[in-house]
Structure 1
Amino acid sequence: MPDVVIIGGGLMGMLSARELRLSGLKVVLIERGQAGQEASWAGGGILSPLYPWRYPDGVSALAAWSQARYEGLCQDLWRESGVDPEWTLSGLLMLGVVAEGLEARRWAERWKAVLEVFKGCDPRQWEGALGEDAGAAGLWMPKVAQVRPPRLVRALRQSLKKLGVEVLEGVKATGLLVRNQTITGVATEGASLAAERVVVAGGAWSGQFLTESGIHLPVEPVRGQMILFRGQPGLLSKMIMGRGYYLIPRRDGHILAGSTLEYTGFDKSTTAEASKELREAAYTLVPALKSLPVTHQWAGLRPGSPQGIPYIGAHPAIKGLYVNAGHFRNGVVTAPASACLLRDILLERTSSLDPAPYVFPCSPSSRSNSKERREV
């Protein structure tokens, strides 16, 4: 019998499995599809919350902890797997937000982030590919890096194999096995798995799965669509944010443009309207993209949660049940911290991260879920 069964093979589930295995536990991970092929694969890979000063402290704490360790994690995964996650220090240039400069500077001082404010100048001195309409003011964060999520999850999948974590793909969990308010295992469409500890890390499906098991967790799917331009290396060197959209240059010359924010349930289809919206936003920021072909369009389902704060920890009433879900738009940047905090809670260790902001909800009203906060 494994020490832990993890439900969900995305970045959060796989990193949690890795941390628990490195701590000496026997771990089985089950994934309804292929590991790493949902939101983790589809993400942009910016290692910072977008407009980070707008988020609650709970998000900032996870992001700051992870940012300090991401380069080392990627080096470890590259060495273990032979796959380079392409951690790259691109920097993040945010245009048209100088009105928030004071709030941003206060946030940066508090979290020891490097942030510069510029205004009244040609932004092309910062990034030569920018268009004239990009704006003459903004914020620059030179220490923000990126990873390439498809490569990151491939590296992590190989790392788990090398570490001896059993990954069961194409296995759908259908419910929790509970006796006397204590976890005894997981029911699947095939055979059940016995375990005294279960971690739910099912991304956008976490809320639905737990609801079907009679447990409330306010996590819902939020669709994000993106497109990919094929270009040559050197056109764009920095990650760019403008009017709520972003451009991410990859090492091989591809440029990712994202993303939409759509409450459409579990629909992962792409739309012509989103393609047009993303192209127009990209062309405004970098006019040279008009000459490049769009090679791909895709969609992923983010695990939306109130205020974007994830749930990490133990269920208050069911012994042996844990959750690591609800990271909304910040799953990639907060994943290392979330996995380590989950590990510490499960192993009853003292953590360097405060677990209080992420406790399992005791009631549906435990956090505000207003439309305004959901669109942070």
Structure 2
Amino acid sequence: MKELHTGNLYWPVTLNNPKVYAPLRQNKKTQVAVIGGGMSGTICSSVFNKSGLSTIMLERGQVAGGSTSANTGLLQFCNDIMLCDLIDQIGERDAQIFYKACRDAVQMLEKTADSLSVDVGLIRRNSLYYASSEQELPKLKREYEALKACGLKVEFWSPSDIAKHFPFQKPGAIVAHGDAEVNPYQFVNGVANDAAEAGLEIYEQTDVVAHETLPSGLHLLKTADGYEIEAEHVVYAVGYEPEELRGKLIKAELNRSFALVTEVQPSLQSWHERFLVWETARPYLYMRTTIDGRVVVGGLDEHTEKPTHSDKELRKHSDKLHSQLKALFPELQAPIAYEWCATFGESRDGLPFIGADPAWKNVYYCLGYGGNGTVYSMLASHLLRDLIIGEEHPLTEIVKLDRKSLANV
């Protein structure tokens, strides 16, 4: 099992006694088998089930126990790849379709959260996306124009505008309206619990170790415990590419990133409207607040796949992130309470991989590379649902595994 994070995670301590699902202990037949019980697997399974598809979700560990626990919970329609760059890469029409779909996905996430039987901490927020240096200001202005032309709700702030609202000044910033924050651990558990009540079958501690296609065209999944699932369709929602796919289609790389959560801050008055904050530099610094007044800070990505096991190395990165926070918000002196290092995947063209296996009928992937994984999970749930039931979806060609844009990166 791939190690996805090390350190001391915050989100799991916010939910007492998460529901435990029994492992699979009998053979099953279903229309759709979803492999993976994290953010993407849970959202997809829930949407499939609501759409009338009999669905089984198989998780080899615990629901929300993988990358979801290390997710920092920023939900934004802007992406790691700027819209202006994406336009150069895939054309204005497709780039705008993708960005608008991300905006709509944030709205769908809010609607989903509102429908749950528990509060999962989803709150709509605006985002401040600032130029890290004067040299990056012209491109940020170009990005603002591209976002505005796309019909997205944005405004541009000058240095004085920023200084009026925050205790720091930057060369310029885009303010994006319509983003959100969420407790990802509570969200995934909440979606899973309500979906299970509505008929979704969930099995934890169920490791799929073999997958073959029967002469009938059905798919046979075998678990490590010797049980079998016969499915018409199989969705791999495993975060990053399955080992058997490695290097064949997907041009991506796995890095590691660092994050921390502070103790509760005595005051957040200087933090204007609890905006989500991030920057143009790459790798970028990003930060948000929590419902109980903590600050989540992340960044310092490194081109190393495995999370660090060195407490000294982890603390060095945490201290640097904490110093960057205090440089922007000098009054925020509450110390670090939680810190972790996590695997972080990036595709070479800045887009997720969502769609059908081009060589394996009725096998699909939801692989949310990039910093916008939760938004991509919601996109995937509807795109894959449409593929399974034979309907068209506007994003299919843009994010499919063998998309033409990959030839240029």
Q: Which residue of 2 aligns with 1:240?
A: 277
Instruction: Give yes or no for the alignment of 1:20 onto 2:48.
Output: yes
Q: Which of residues 49, 69, 72 in structure 2 aligns to 1:41?
A: 69
Opposite residue 53 of structure 1, the aligned amino acid is: L
Q: Which residue of 2 aligns with 1:56?
A: 86
TM-score using structure 2 length: 0.78
Instruction: Give yes or no for the alignment of 1:124 onto 2:163.
Output: yes
Q: Which of residues 30, 37, 41 in structure 2 aligns to 1:2?
A: 30
- What do residues 187-221 of structure 1 show as CA deviations (whole Å, max 9, x unaligned)? 221223221211111002x232534xx96544543
**Distance (whole Å) between structure 2 residues aligned to residue 188 and residue 123 of structure 1:** 55
Q: Which of residues 143, 146, 152 in structure 2 aligns to 1:107?
A: 146
Contact 1:62 1:334 in 2 (8 A): no
Q: What are the residue-to-residue correspondences of 1:1-376 with 2, within 5 Å?
A: 1-48=29-76, 49-50=79-80, 52-53=82-83, 56=86, 61-71=97-107, 73-96=109-132, 97-121=136-160, 123-127=162-166, 130-131=167-168, 134-179=169-214, 182-190=217-225, 191-204=227-240, 206-211=241-246, 216-230=249-263, 231-232=265-266, 234-235=268-269, 236=271, 237-242=274-279, 243=281, 244-267=284-307, 269=309, 271-289=314-332, 291-351=333-393, 353-361=394-402, 366-367=406-407
**Distance (whole Å) between structure 2 residues aligned to residue 193 and residue 333 of structure 1:** 29
**Distance (whole Å) between structure 2 residues aligned to residue 233 and residue 86 of structure 1:** 21
Structure 1's 253 and 120: CA in aligned 2 closer, same or farther, altered over 3 A?
Answer: closer
Opposite residue 280 of structure 1, the aligned amino acid is: S
Quote the offset at 1:35 in angstroms: 1.4
Structure 1's 317 and 362: CA in aligned 2 closer, same or farther, altered over 3 A?
Answer: farther
**Distance (whole Å) between structure 2 residues aligned to residue 207 and residue 168 of structure 1:** 20
- What do residues 113-172 of structure 1 show as CA deviations (whole Å, max 9, x unaligned)? 122223342633122xx24xx424222223332222222212212222222211111222
Opposite residue 357 of structure 2, the aligned amino acid is: H
**Distance (whole Å) between structure 2 residues aligned to residue 257 and residue 355 of structure 1:** 33
Where 1:81 maps in the other structure, the secondary structure is coil
Quote the offset at 1:325 in angstroms: 0.9
Contact 1:207 1:217 in 2 (8 A): no
Structure 1's 201 and 69: CA in aligned 2 closer, same or farther, altered over 3 A?
Answer: closer
Quote the offset at 1:38 in angstroms: 2.1
Quote the offset at 1:71 in angstroms: 4.2
Long gaps (5+) in structure 1? 370-376
| Identity %, equivalent residues | 20
Structure 1's 83 and 143: CA in aligned 2 closer, same or farther, altered over 3 A?
Answer: closer
Q: How many residues align?
A: 359
Q: Which residue of 2 aligns with 1:374?
A: none
Long gaps (5+) in structure 2? 1-28, 88-93
Opposite residue 103 of structure 1, the aligned amino acid is: R
Where 2:189 maps in the other structure, the secondary structure is helix
TM-score using structure 1 length: 0.85
**Distance (whole Å) between structure 2 residues aligned to residue 362 and residue 183 of structure 1:** 26
Opposite residue 151 of structure 1, the aligned amino acid is: Q
